[in-house]
Amino acid sequence: MPQALPPPPPAIVITGTALPEARADRVYTVERISERRIAQSPSHELDQLLKEVPGIQLFRRSDARSGHPTSQGVTLRAIGGNASSRALLVLDGVPQSDPFGGWINWPAYDPAGLSGIRVIRGGGSVANGPGALAGTIEMTSRADAGAGGEIFVGSRDSLEARGRIGLDAGGGVLSLSGRGARSDGFVPITQDTRGPADHAAPYREWSGRGRWVAPVGPSTELQASLSGFHDWRTRGTDFSSDRTNGADASVRLVDRGRWQWSALGYWQWRNLRSSTASLSAGRTSATRVLLQDSVPSRGFGGSIEVRPPLPDGIELRLGGDARRTTGETRELANFAAGQPTRRRRAGGETWTGGAFAEASAELSGIVLSAGARLDRWQIEGGHLFEQTIATGAVTRDEHYQPRHGWRPTARGGLIAPIGAGFNLRSAAYLGWRMPTLNELFRPFRAGADATAANPGLNPERLAGIEAGIDYSKGPWRASVTAFANRLKHAIANVTLAAGPGNFPQVGFVGAGGSFRQRQNVDAVKVRGIEAAAEWTRGPWAVRAGASFTHARMQTGGAAALLDGLRPAQTPKFAATLAGSWEQEGRGAQLVLRRVGAQYEDDLNTRLLKGATTLDAFASWPLSGRLQLVARAENLTDALVMAGIGGDGSVERATPRTLWIGVRLR
């Protein structure tokens, strides 16, 4: 008899993803942004795409094309606006916050290069490291072969182009992608509050990325990435340009065999150059008051996770991670007659490192989960140096003592089916965030206001609980979640005095300006309800979401005036309603968003009114692979107040912007 042929080897599937989603995540509120939803987004800016999730907010309402780069921190659940992020953003497992300031450099990312985004609300992310006070936003890169691209022209002589190609290489897939955009921009200050010094705010940005995903064993996959970006924009006056350059590299090994494990290492570099202007009375002229000539910073770290084989229904995650950040701001300050009179350097470095364990078990349909981690943190090398340029005299040369400590993170919860498509869930969590180098060591100015740094800041700590009900049956998905959070030792810019006058670190503050210092306030307490619903049938999809929050400061001492006030930049209400249709290359989407009123300042004296915006998307096939695409941002040209200056000037977010272009699929 002929011998039977041996069975063929199992097919190796390239995924480019991490380990399978943890069973523990099922007990938390998770919203997914699919590749289809990304493709139909009216905006190609990642920060605007994320705003479709109610409860996600940036420090300010302006987006990454017109806002200051240092105002782009991201947070969730109304725990307070801050230039630093209070939600943890990760790309393929790598934390994305700026090593020096904790904000997010949004132009570095092209949403078209993502296969999906997961938004996990609630703190205490034990496996991703510290920083997830309000939640975690996980982005996953695409790893498929093929090619595509698009080019758009838009309002105010705007141009945007991007392309991607995935090639078979070395038994895997090599992806190369790039994106560029430019615009003459709009005038950020509203017409009735602007002056002769105000003009349009152009921007230029580009990013590029290469990623290779390949098998290196029967169940092991190598994922290597290298990326870079450039972001240049102005703030709508002379002497107000900002530029950020950055580069990232990472290598990850993922094994999906019987013993599942992953190991990641990464390196990050950023350099910010920012000029700050002061406006004369009536905004008739602008003069430079500060030039951050160079802010180099670096971050590097790694993580490892192991999931041993266990009986069905039980999952155990073990691992650890570490991250180091270093950075320094190099500034020319105290300008007189157009020339700087003082030189300043400020910076330092921080370390965090910890180990975690998380277990989950499914018993009769009920999923139970519990996890914890312990981290050591350290701040060292802190310094603030100031020198008079004309004489060379050193006016300040401070070196701060190293500090260190330990912080726990924990989370646990359960989800239980109750029949008819309904599930009940509940969770509790602890989380924490390191103060950034920017918060610790760098004084700064924004308009007429000046803020001093504070090298004695302690890490923020959050404790929270939540409970909710989910429904999933047929085309329907819905959830309602009630939560309560308490952010202890919250870092805030606390108003201490009004100008005119001379103040520590910042010097002279004129009339109409305020002197502030970064301080740990006692706490921010938030209670709220989140609701979401989605209906999908064939080519149709409708989704809705809303967030209602009651947030209050609990303060004493120098910050006693803030007690009982709402945190700055925190709306009570946000909601989204969207409907979409897609079939055979044709598609359309409308997105209606409402954001409630919020205060510009910590004293709740400058009110930013609520706003409702409508965005739109439509596509039509021109051939088998070519589409005509039209997009509209803020179609009704609603006024979205993004800031109020000490002189009463009102800054607006992006006005109506129309785009038309072609897409190669």
Q: Is residue 464 part of a domain?
A: yes
Q: Is residue 187 part of a domain?
A: yes
Q: Is residue 150 part of a domain?
A: yes
- Asked whether residue 142 carries a pLDDT value surpassing 70, the answer given is yes
Task: Report the amino acid identity of residue 200.
Answer: A
The percentage of residues in the chain with a pLDDT greater than 90, rounded to a whole number, is: 73
| Pairing mode, strands 88-91 and 501-503 | unpaired
Residue 14 has a pLDDT of: 67
What distances in angstroms separate CA 355 from CA 129, 160, 332, 376, 470, one per listed residue? Answer: 9, 43, 42, 10, 32
Residue 452 has a pLDDT of: 86
Residue 3 has a pLDDT of: 54
Domain enclosing residue 213, as ranges: 23-285+299-664
Total domains in the chain come to: 1
- Asked whether residue 8 carries a pLDDT value surpassing 60, the answer given is no
- Asked whether residue 108 carries a pLDDT value surpassing 70, the answer given is yes
Element housing 47 (H / E): helix 46-50
Q: Is residue 4 part of a domain?
A: no
Which residues are registered as beta bridge partners of 531? 480, 546
Using only C-alpha atoms, the chain has a radius of gyration, in whole angstroms, of 25
Q: Please check whether residue 432 is in contact with residue 410, taking contact to mean a CB–CB distance below 8 angstroms.
A: no
Which residues are registered as beta bridge partners of 630? 618, 660
Residue 494 has a pLDDT of: 83
The percentage of residues in the chain with a pLDDT greater than 70, rounded to a whole number, is: 97
Residue 443 has a pLDDT of: 85
Q: Is residue 10 part of a domain?
A: no
**420-429: pLDDT as tens digits:** 999 999 999 9
Q: Is residue 5 part of a domain?
A: no
List, in order, residues 6 or more apart from 60 with CB less than 8 Å away: 67, 71, 72, 81, 569, 642, 643
Q: Please check whether residue 185 is in contact with residue 202, taking contact to mean a CB–CB distance below 8 angstroms.
A: yes
User: Which residue bears the tokens 């509940």?
Assistant: 426
Q: Please check whether residue 464 is in contact with residue 530, taking contact to mean a CB–CB distance below 8 angstroms.
A: no
Q: How confident is the model at residue 58 (pLDDT cuts 50, 70, 90)?
A: confident
List, in order, residues 6 or more apart from 600 with CB less than 8 Å away: 568, 569, 606, 607, 608, 643, 644
Task: Report the amino acid identity of residue 351.
Answer: W
- The 3-class SS string of 301-345 reads EEEEEEECCCCCCEEEEEEEEEEEEEEEEEEEEEEECCEEEEEEE
Residue 504 has a pLDDT of: 76
Q: Is residue 15 part of a domain?
A: no
List, in order, residues 6 or more apart from 3 with CB less than 8 Å away: none
Q: Please check whether residue 571 is in contact with residue 463, taking contact to mean a CB–CB distance below 8 angstroms.
A: no
User: Which residue bears the tokens 């904000």?
Assistant: 103
Specify the 3-state DSSP secondary structure of 506.
Answer: coil
* Number of helices (H), then strands (E), in the chain: 3, 38
Residue 1 has a pLDDT of: 46
- Asked whether residue 11 carries a pLDDT value surpassing 80, the answer given is no
**616-664: pLDDT as tens digits:** 999 999 998 999 999 999 999 999 999 998 788 999 999 999 999 999 9
Q: Please check whether residue 245 is in contact with residue 232, taking contact to mean a CB–CB distance below 8 angstroms.
A: no
Q: Is residue 347 part of a domain?
A: yes
CA distance 243 to 294: 10
- Asked whether residue 253 carries a pLDDT value surpassing 50, the answer given is yes
Higher pLDDT, 590 or 562: 590
CA distance 170 to 147: 18
- What average pLDDT does this structure show over 585-603? 92
CA distance 81 to 61: 11
Pick the range with the lowest mean pLDDT from 348-352, 438-442, 512-516.
Answer: 512-516
| Pairing mode, strands 449-452 and 514-537 | parallel
Tokens coding 48 = 């605007």
- What average pLDDT does this structure show over 239-259? 96
Q: Transcribe 230-261 into DSSP letters.
A: EEEEE-SSTT-EEEEEEEEEEEEEEEESSSEE
Higher pLDDT, 16 or 320: 320
CA distance 250 to 271: 19
Mean pLDDT of the chain: 92
Tokens coding 478 = 């819905």
CA distance 101 to 435: 9
**282-307: pLDDT as tens digits:** 999 999 988 999 999 999 999 999 99
- Asked whether residue 158 carries a pLDDT value surpassing 70, the answer given is yes
Q: Please check whether residue 486 is in contact with residue 429, taking contact to mean a CB–CB distance below 8 angstroms.
A: no
Q: How confident is the model at residue 510 (pLDDT cuts 50, 70, 90)?
A: confident
Q: Which CATH number belongs to the domain containing residue 165 in this structure? A: 2.40.170.20
- What average pLDDT does this structure show over 63-72? 89
- Asked whether residue 41 carries a pLDDT value surpassing 50, the answer given is yes
- What average pLDDT does this structure show over 447-457? 84
Give the Cβ contact number of residue 374 at 10 Å: 15
